[in-house]
């Protein structure tokens, strides 16, 4: 095979693909051909690098030069300057890599330096559509070791010793789960993967599926060997088209190489894997609903026990793990339980991937050792909050989780510390909020989501969350009544205690946790009819400061409903009856004479 002098890695994750990385690749191919470089330079489409805010990302090796926010028009310059003449195009480098005028490689970037990549080890490094590249980085070596050197019980032992816990939400010890299923009488058993990532703002699993699909296949095959199963299913949402496509390519390649199928590595172990597409219902991320959906029924949860390890898919013993959990397993087998247990905190081992979003500079994916503080994630890796605004809270665990206020910025993040704070790890969404966010509004947003996504099977979730939402809508509309907060608390407790599945049991969490830390904001809404952050529209108005208004008339021209009037030398006035509170006037005023009155 051909040896190239330079590799150009172009991110093919969903984020960068939506900002044109496919076209960038074809433009590179055209430019390379133009300059007769196609036999010297290789274009590699990789998975997500994690720094999605700066996409599309292109990394050129051997220099390791990292270009960010690359446009199709820039490709000609990169090809002619860098690839042809060897002059790095500094203009397009990630700004941090040439602060001092010299061009550094991406290893020197603060965003990557502080991370520890285990689950994401191959994302942005290999071509996910090429099984050979996965194998080159020790892929399927763990699987080979397991099949030829270890007994199933020994595999489970390694996992138990490693302390790996489920990365999908609950944090149940993975080794224990496998042991339950392994101890069931021999017969048909199933290995399932939950890739139905549905939390708003979370995309850790998508990134693994897109950037390193073989790690999932390898881990599921290992699981099959450990519990005595020969069939696996990956349940992935149809809204992830790139992930589905790459996963299918990966499965086909693994079958072609005989890494899936019959008598793998010459042993008597056989394992097959199939994809099942979900239609996007949030509840199908709940394990029993997910299995019901695979069986071909409407995705509704069923009561536990019996747990899936005893009676799961088609009433057979089944293990179900999340994508990120699986992605850790080959590394644990190769490097040993002690290595993994050496990372993280006492009860939370290893690393965790977070999808960081909201009011933060470096929106993207980060993988950090458990026990890293929230402050490090937000300020050191995340690059802080745009516009120098003040940190107010971070929401973890999506609609099942809660918020962590600024007073707990220095808490080490792990499963137990988050539970103590009234939030949870969840699958790893981390939404940062600043002083401009209204916490009652945030709670309402998440509750709207769960009300929409409730499957309707049990009344506490179907009716209870709807009632909670009505109360929140009343409060944010300035019509909150005395006793509303108490009603919310009672309803929340009852729903938590009586809902059928995880979705309902955790749905009140965002309300409970905002009530715990930001009760004063709720009080301000209910008692004073004020929204301190100026978000809830019915409780704020835009006002023109008569002293600083220069009567230029720009605001009146911009107002979409004609609510502003005035004339030369007389300050303009907003007609509050007509105003729809869109905020355009404040944005456009050149003299900053318009402000929010809360």
Partner 1 sequence: MKSLAELEEIRKKTLDQMSLRKGNDGMRVIVGMATCGIAAGARPVMSAFVEEINKRNLTDVTVTMTGCIGVCRLEPVVEIIDKDGNKVTYVKMTPEKAARIVAEHIVNGRVCVDYTIGEAEK
Q: Are strands 391-396 and 429-434 parallel, antiparallel or unpaired?
A: antiparallel
How far is Cα of residue 451 from the mean position of the Cα atoms in its chain? 21
Q: Are 480 and 526 in contact (CB under 8 A)?
A: yes
Q: 265: alpha, beta or left, given left = phi > 0 and alpha = psi -120 to 50?
A: left
User: Which one, 108 or 566, has the nearer CB to partner 1?
Assistant: 108
User: Which one, 137 or 445, has the nearer CB to partner 1?
Assistant: 137
User: According to the binding rule CB under 8 A, does residue 388 interact with partner 1?
Assistant: no
User: According to the binding rule CB under 8 A, does residue 1 interact with partner 1?
Assistant: yes
H or E element, residue 479: none
User: According to the binding rule CB under 8 A, does residue 84 interact with partner 1?
Assistant: yes
User: Which one, 64 or 553, has the nearer CB to partner 1?
Assistant: 64
- The Cα–Cα gap between 523 and 293 comes to 43
User: According to the binding rule CB under 8 A, does residue 2 interact with partner 1?
Assistant: yes
The interface mask with partner 1, positions 427-446, x = CB under 8 A, is: --------------------
User: According to the binding rule CB under 8 A, does residue 596 interact with partner 1?
Assistant: no
Beta-carbon contacts of 527 under 8 Å, excluding residues fewer than 6 positions away, are none
User: According to the binding rule CB under 8 A, does residue 217 interact with partner 1?
Assistant: no
User: Which one, 40 or 272, has the nearer CB to partner 1?
Assistant: 40
Touching partner 1, residues 341-380 (CB under 8 A): none
User: Which one, 268 or 410, has the nearer CB to partner 1?
Assistant: 268
Task: Report residue 553 as tokens.
Answer: 């008339």
**Nearest approach, Cβ of 75 to partner 1 (angstroms)?**
18
Q: Are 254 and 260 in contact (CB under 8 A)?
A: yes
**What phi and psi values does residue 235 have, to the nearest 5 degrees?**
-100, 110
- The Cα–Cα gap between 488 and 491 comes to 5
User: Which one, 42 or 581, has the nearer CB to partner 1?
Assistant: 42
Task: Report residue 466 as tokens.
Answer: 């709807």
**Nearest approach, Cβ of 55 to partner 1 (angstroms)?**
19
Q: Of residues 67, 111, 140, 190, which one binds partner 1 by CB under 8 A?
A: 140
User: According to the binding rule CB under 8 A, does residue 126 interact with partner 1?
Assistant: yes
Q: How many Cβ atoms are within 10 Å of 371's Cβ, its own excluded?
A: 18
Q: Of residues 29, 107, 295, 528, which one binds partner 1 by CB under 8 A?
A: 107
Q: Are 195 and 237 in contact (CB under 8 A)?
A: yes
H or E element, residue 306: none
User: According to the binding rule CB under 8 A, does residue 266 interact with partner 1?
Assistant: yes
- The Cα–Cα gap between 411 and 512 comes to 20
Alpha-carbon dihedral of residues 249, 254, 256, 260, nearest 10 degrees? -130
What is the DSSP-derived secondary structure letter of residue 238?
Answer: T
Size of the site for partner 1 (CB under 8 A): 38
Q: How many Cβ atoms are within 10 Å of 469's Cβ, its own excluded?
A: 19
**What phi and psi values does residue 11 have, to the nearest 5 degrees?**
-70, 130
Task: Report residue 197 as tokens.
Answer: 């990532």
Q: Of residues 34, 71, 136, 487, which one binds partner 1 by CB under 8 A?
A: 136
Q: Of residues 11, 125, 221, 458, which one binds partner 1 by CB under 8 A?
A: 125
User: Which one, 6 or 184, has the nearer CB to partner 1?
Assistant: 6
User: Which one, 330 or 371, has the nearer CB to partner 1?
Assistant: 330
**Nearest approach, Cβ of 4 to partner 1 (angstroms)?**
8
Count of residues for the chain?
Answer: 598
Q: Of residues 73, 86, 407, 577, which one binds partner 1 by CB under 8 A?
A: 86
**Nearest approach, Cβ of 98 to partner 1 (angstroms)?**
16
Q: Are strands 65-67 and 58-61 parallel, antiparallel or unpaired?
A: antiparallel
Task: Report residue 303 as tokens.
Answer: 């009561």
Only segment of 80-88, 447-455, 467-475, 504-512 that touches partner 1 (CB under 8 A):
80-88
Q: Of residues 22, 96, 138, 239, which one binds partner 1 by CB under 8 A?
A: 138
Q: Of residues 27, 74, 129, 133, which one binds partner 1 by CB under 8 A?
A: 133
Q: Of residues 103, 135, 343, 543, which one binds partner 1 by CB under 8 A?
A: 135
Binding site for partner 1 (CB under 8 A): 1-7, 9, 40, 61-64, 84-87, 105, 107, 125-126, 132-133, 135-141, 144, 148, 257-259, 264-266
């Amino acid at each position: 095979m051909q040896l190239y002098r330079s590799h150009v890695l172009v991110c093919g994750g969903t984020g960068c693909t939506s900002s044109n990385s496919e076209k960038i690749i074809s433009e590179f191919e055209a430019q390379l051909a133009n300059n007769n470089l196609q036999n010297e330079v290789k274009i590699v489409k990789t998975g997500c690098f994690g720094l999605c805010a700066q996409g599309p990302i292109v990394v050129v090796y051997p220099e390791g030069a990292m270009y960010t926010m690359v446009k199709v028009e820039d490709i000609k310059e990169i090809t002619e300057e860098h690839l042809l003449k060897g002059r790095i195009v500094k203009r397009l480098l990630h700004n941090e890599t040439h602060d001092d005028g010299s061009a550094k490689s991406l290893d020197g970037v603060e965003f990557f330096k502080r991370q520890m990549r285990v689950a994401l080890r191959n994302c942005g490094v290999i071509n996910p559509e090429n099984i050979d590249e996965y194998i080159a980085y020790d892929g399927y070596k763990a699987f080979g070791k397991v099949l030829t050197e270890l007994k199933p019980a020994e595999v489970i032992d390694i996992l138990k010793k490693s302390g790996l816990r489920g990365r999908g939400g609950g944090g149940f010890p993975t080794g224990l789960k496998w042991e339950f299923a392994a101890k069931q009488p021999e017969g048909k058993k199933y290995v399932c993967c939950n890739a139905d990532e549905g939390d708003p703002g979370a995309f850790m699993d998508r990134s693994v599926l897109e950037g390193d699909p073989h790690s999932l296949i390898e881990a599921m095959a290992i699981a099959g060997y450990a519990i005595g199963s020969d069939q696996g299913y990956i349940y992935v949402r149809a809204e992830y088209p790139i992930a589905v496509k790459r996963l299918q390519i990966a499965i086909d390649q693994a079958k072609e190489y005989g890494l899936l199928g019959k008598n793998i590595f010459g042993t008597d172990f056989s394992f097959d894997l199939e994809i099942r597409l979900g239609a996007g219902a949030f509840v199908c991320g709940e394990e029993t609903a997910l299995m019901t959906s695979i069986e071909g029924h409407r995705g509704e949860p069923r009561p536990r026990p019996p747990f899936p390890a005893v009676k799961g898919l088609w009433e057979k013993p089944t293990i179900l793990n999340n994508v990120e959990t699986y992605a850790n397993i080959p590394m644990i087998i190769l490097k040993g339980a002690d290595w993994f247990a050496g990372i993280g905190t006492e009860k939370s081992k290893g690393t965790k991937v977070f999808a960081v979003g909201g009011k933060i500079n470096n929106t993207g994916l980060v993988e950090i050792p458990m026990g890293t503080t929230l402050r490090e994630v937000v300020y050191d890796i995340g690059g802080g909050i745009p516009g120098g605004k003040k940190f107010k809270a971070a929401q973890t665990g999506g609609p099942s989780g809660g918020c962590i206020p600024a007073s707990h910025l220095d808490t080490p993040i792990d499963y137990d510390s988050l539970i103590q704070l009234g939030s949870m790890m969840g699958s790893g969404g981390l939404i940062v909020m600043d002083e401009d966010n209204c916490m009652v509004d945030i709670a309402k947003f998440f509750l709207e989501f769960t009300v929409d996504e409730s499957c309707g099977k049990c009344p506490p979730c179907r009716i209870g969350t709807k009632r909670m939402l009505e109360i929140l809508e009343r409060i944010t509309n300035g019509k909150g009544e005395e006793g509303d907060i108490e009603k919310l608390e009672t309803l929340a407790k009852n729903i938590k205690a009586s809902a059928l599945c995880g979705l309902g049991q955790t749905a009140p969490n965002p309300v409970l946790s905002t009530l715990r830390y930001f009760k004063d904001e709720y009080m301000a809404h209910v008692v004073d009819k004020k929204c301190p952050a100026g978000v809830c529209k019915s409780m704020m108005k835009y006002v023109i400061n008569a002293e600083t208004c220069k009567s230029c008339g720009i605001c009146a021209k911009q107002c979409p409903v004609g609510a502003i009037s005035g004339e030369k030398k007389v300050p303009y006035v907003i007609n509050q009856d007509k105003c729809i509170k869109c905020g355009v006037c404040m944005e456009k005023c050149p003299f900053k004479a318009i402000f929010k009155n809360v």
